[in-house]
Amino acid sequence: MLEVLAENLAARVSGRRIESILIRQPALLQTSAPTPESFAGEFLSLPGRVGKYLVLETESRRAIVIHLMRAGRILVVAAPERAAALPRQLSARVAFDDGTRLELVEHGKEKRARLWLVEDSSDLAELQRLGPDPSRGELSHERFRAALDGASRRLKTFLTDQRAIAGIGNGLSDEILYEARLSPMRLTGSLTEAEARAMHAALLAVVTTQTEKLRQSAQGELPQKEPREHYIVHDHAGAKCPRCAATIARVSFTDHELFYCPGCQTGGKLMQDRRLSKLLK
């Protein structure tokens, strides 16, 4: 989603001069210098995506770096006709010289989004730790295999580890494993070379396909989430698999869910739902 968000955001804010930066959620800001006030007068260049981070770089190479986490959303709103109270869900706001404003809002009680103000985004430790990005042509099969062999863990965990591969989230990881016909609970070290190659090919294909689907459906607007209908298995528990007609299943964890096809991915076996099993004890 961030790839398309950055593309469409560029058409709206590139070249704008920053008037002010308001940080309304205290836990949001992760840096003490440079200060928000020091960005006044800076001109934005093209916004971009680095992994799961949105990078708003200025012409002087200073940058506003944002991680939306699960509930963060980016809006660009017009100047109000008269002064109005700040929206309850507003976490940060960048005001521009033409009166428009870029707003970071977070829905729900948990405020987990993060924002950094930096002199140079390339110096930010969080970005330096990112793995290769498949949508940037950085993930050759050799680099994928090296990441796969780096540590023994579940395939689902591996795909969403940004230090292994940058930019893969919960939805994409479900779709990649479905495309590759692999169980989310398989261990990385258990894959044959043929399975590793199939998974790598599935990863590249799903990232490309899903990005293009969102690019077309957004039609220049700022996407707020990836539409459920773009996916085959993710968020489709109870639906029939279009490949084998098995019922798509779900496993719930504390902070996320995974979706899979028992017929295509686990040999017909249902995996235990962690959240449900705790409730039954």
Q: What is the pLDDT of residues 206-230, one digit of tens each?
A: 999 999 999 999 999 999 888 899 9
Average pLDDT on 22-32 reads 94
State how far the Cα of 111 lies from the Cα of 21, in Å rounded to an integer.
18
Phi then psi for residue 169, to 5 deg, are -105, -170
Domain residue limits, the chain:
2-128, 134-280
Instruction: Name the token pair of 244.
Output: 């084998």
Average pLDDT on 28-40 reads 96
Residues sharing a CB contact under 8 Å with residue 167, sequence separation 6 or more, in sequence order: 2, 3, 49, 51, 52, 133, 134, 135, 207
Q: Which residue has the tokens 């190659």?
A: 197
The class that CATH gives domain 134-280 is mainly alpha
Residue 32 and residue 14 in contact, taking contact as beta carbons nearer than 8 Å: no
Report pLDDT for 274: 61
Q: Residue 92 pairs with which residues in a beta bridge?
A: 23, 104
Q: What is the CATH number of domain 2-128?
A: 3.20.190.10
Is the pLDDT higher at 16 or at 80?
16
DSSP 56: E
Report pLDDT for 111: 85
Average pLDDT on 31-44 reads 96
Report pLDDT for 44: 96
Instruction: Band the pLDDT of 281: cuts 50, 70, 90.
Output: very low
Angstrom distances, CA of residue 70 to CA of 10, 29, 281: 22, 17, 29
Residues sharing a CB contact under 8 Å with residue 149, sequence separation 6 or more, in sequence order: 188, 189
Average pLDDT along the chain: 93
Q: Can you give 240-264 as a three-state secondary structure string? A: ECCCCCCECEEEECCCCEEEECHHH
Percent pLDDT > 90 in the chain is 85
Q: Considering the entire predicted model, what is its pTM?
A: 0.92
Report pLDDT for 280: 31
Report pLDDT for 79: 79
